[in-house]
Amino acid sequence: MRFPRLFALMWMLPAVWAAAEMIPLEKFTQDTRFSRASLSPDGRYIACLQMLNGDPWLMILDLETKQTARVNPGVTRSGLRKEVASFRWVSDRRISFVTTVWDGQSLTGVSAVDCDGKNWAAFAGPDVDPTDPQPLLATKIIHSFNDAEQNVLMLDQGFFEGSDLVYPDVVRVSTRTAQVRTVVKNPGNVVGWVPDREGVVRLGVTRDGLKHGVIYRENEQAKWRTMPLSDAEAGRISPLGFDYDGKKLIVVANNEQKRRAVYYYDVEAGKLGDVIASHPEFDIIPERGAPGVDGVSLSGPVMSELTESVVGIRYITDGPRLHWFDPGFAALQGGLDRLLPNTVNLIVSRSRDEKRFLVLAFSDRDPGTYYLVDLKSAKPEVSKLTERMPGLPVAAMAPMYPVKYRARDDEAIHGYLTLPPGAGRTNLPVVIMPHGGPFVRDSWQFHPLVQFLANRGYAVFQMNFRGSPGYGTEFYRKGRREIGRGMQDDIEDGTRWLIQQGLADPQRIAIVGGSYGGYAALFALGNSPELYRCGVSINGVTDWTDITKERKGEEYRYAYLFFREWIGDPKLAPEFLAEISPVNFAAKISAPVFIVQGKEDRTVPPKQARKMITALEKAGRPPQELFLANEGHSFKDEKSRTRLYGEIERFLAKHLAPR
């Protein structure tokens, strides 16, 4: 699918488009009914998460009998409701799943069940044995053996929201009997382990402060040795995993243009080998924050167990790209794209024999539909399974155009502009929507809030300011200590660019963001008050000095080190952190403000919002406020999202009305 630039098409667009259909708000805030679909290794079953009464259940469909099994995770021993967060096939007939509970912190457990919903066994988490003072708290499976006991390798590390300091052992766990055996003991500095294709743990990623390293061994009996992988500021070599021969690694490293490319790495010679995929302008796999769709990464190599080779690559330029090295996969992709020409058709799962495939067809206007491709018969069959958001009128959604503009220092900034159907193309009311993070990025795909605002007549502009990954190491590192500076300049410059292009009505521009985007909205209202009529901050940081204090515990050590290096050092530059904190310049904000906060948010604690509200009240500018009960940093409840979208709609309609 092509992703045309906006101004290459502007001459083709009529001055006034057809009148837009006013779509009910609830269509945009509905739960994703089905998600994370995956085939069993033998291709007989499909598992997915299904929303039932507001909670995600595990559903398993037998493609032969058409029977379904549904797994309700139930409640904890203390009576708290559990929900399925993720799952993974561990054999042809058994599946493991992670459960979470919101109880002031995220508690997790791991269980397994047969594909008919029977023989449930919990083998990790505090509910397994309440008398055990040190229960297995593993949540991540790194290898499945598909043996009689359905053994798996897991990282034995507890998960608590906000915790980054984990040095896990590797344990072998039976998903049937819950028996646990430690196979690799952590030396004290390894944050991640990588097994080869046979399940032998042969590589570990170490961390010393913000520096990373790699240890390696030839086999299970060999001693660990340090590998000579670079950890330079120019971009380190990062291992993804072993190739099928067990002699080469697949790694990410900088190419000549300092874009992150994928290579083979010869572990014996200690040097990069042949390039697998590279691009002169965009990272194949960014340094962090690679976008995904429904849990499937849009960046990285595609491996085939059948041919024991890398058969393709996924990466992002203006939009998602797929390139196949294998002619069979290329032919299959070509057939899918001819059948479904208006979507990106992503193969998200396949059977071991590569005769059955699950395909997710999605776009900027379509949250996605799952299809089953069956090559077992003489004539290939493609069957529609389910829509992720049933009833959403995809044809009425708004197009999302990739754009590029120049910042004040001539840096190229990429972004996405969504134009409202039926509103023309000049002097539009605009919502500027900076992303969260800040060291993540926006991508070309369906965004419910963006589409909702476009349906209500607003153009929406999302820019990937400096520090956003995907555009090379130098661009990413230009975001270092540029919060409230270069990052914010890029947002302001993008707003002024829209005005210069005649797209934006300069008297009807709002800024709306969540998390870091919420902070950026508040900063913009104080720093560039002439540009914005109003702003919305959702779970936004308001006081960087205070939030630093929240991240100084042992469990936040790595997060604190990252904060100190990339945001600002609270000891060496306290004035800077105070200067970029909106709570300290609330008096400069004259436009109406809407502050939204999840009451249970542990990433940005609610007191951040309360401090900003108090500061605005003291300045004589009391904001509109909304505190959502039982919500954290992201709003999981459909009713909460419906209330939020409705409040934003009314707020913008009031303050962006034509004068």
Tokens 């502050």 sit on residue? 595
φ, ψ (nearest 5 deg) of residue 331? -65, -40
Is there a contact between 92 and 40 (Cβ–Cβ < 8 Å)?
yes
The residue among 149, 174, 199 that closes a domain is 174
- Residue bearing the bigger pLDDT, 601 or 624: 624
**Does the pLDDT of residue 10 top 50, yes or no?**
no
Tell me the three state secondary structure of residue 214: strand
Residue 426 domain-assigned (yes or no): yes
Give the tens place of pLDDT for each residue, 456-468.
999 999 999 999 9
* Amino acid identity for residue 542 in this structure: T
Q: In this structure, is residue 199 part of a structural domain?
A: no
Last residue of a domain, one of 118, 144, 174: 174
CA distance 421 to 520: 28
Q: What pLDDT was estimated at residue 122?
A: 86
| pLDDT tens readout for residues 525-542 | 999 999 999 999 999 999
pLDDT of 361: 97
Give domain status of residue 224, yes or no: no
State mean pLDDT over 179-191: 90
- The enclosing domain of 446 has a CATH number of 3.40.50.1820
Is 108 among the domain residues?
A: yes
Residue 368 has pLDDT above 60, yes or no: yes
Mean pLDDT to the nearest integer, 3-17? 47
For residue 556, pLDDT beyond 50: yes
The string of pLDDT tens digits covering residues 576-598 is: 999 999 999 999 999 999 999 99
Query: Is residue 569 situated within a structural domain?
Result: no
How much is the pLDDT for 5? 58
Tell me, letter by letter, the H, E, C secondary structure of 604-655.
CCHHHHHHHHHHHHHCCCCCEEEEECCCCCCCCCHHHHHHHHHHHHHHHHHH
Nearest to 50 by CA among 87, 102, 96, 77: 87
Phi/psi at 426 (5° precision): -135, 150
Contact of 436 with 289, CB cutoff 8 Å: no
pLDDT of amino acid 51: 86
Average model confidence (pLDDT) across the chain: 89
Burial 582-600 (b: 16+ CB within 10 A, else e): bbbbbeebebbbbbbbbeb
Q: Which parts of 363-407 are beta strand (E)?
A: 369-374, 381-387, 400-406
Residue 180 forms part of a structural domain: no
What are the residues whose beta carbons fall under 8 Å from the beta carbon of 287, sequence distance 6 or more?
235, 260, 469, 473, 476
User: Where does the pLDDT of residue 85 fall: very low under 50, low under 70, confident under 90, or very high at 90 and above?
Assistant: confident
Q: Give 98-126 pLDDT, tens digit per residue.
A: 888 765 456 678 899 999 999 998 888 76
Range of weakest confidence among 104-113, 177-186, 252-261, 402-411? 104-113
pLDDT over 50 at 11, yes or no: no
DSSP E strand stretches across 196-280: 201-208, 211-216, 225-226, 238-242, 248-254, 260-266, 271-277
Cβ-contact 343, 370 below 8 angstroms:
no
pLDDT value of residue 378: 76
- Asked whether residue 537 is assigned to any structural domain, the reply reads yes
Residues 6+ apart with CB under 8 A from 647: 594, 596, 624, 626
33, part of any domain: no
Using the 3D structure, point to which of 150, 174, 198 is the last residue of a domain.
174
Provide mean pLDDT across the span 180-186: 92
Single-letter residue type at 133: P
Q: What is the tally of structural domains in the chain?
A: 2
Residue identified by tokens 């555009």 is: 471
Can you say whether the dihedral through the CA atoms of 4, 431, 441, 407 is positive or negative?
positive
Name the residue range of residue 58's domain: 47-174
Is the torsion defined by CA of 463, 466, 468, 470 positive or negative?
Answer: positive
For residue 495, give the H/E element and its range: helix 486-500
* pLDDT greater than 80 at residue 165: no
Nearest one of 544, 567, 550 to 603, comparing CA atoms: 550
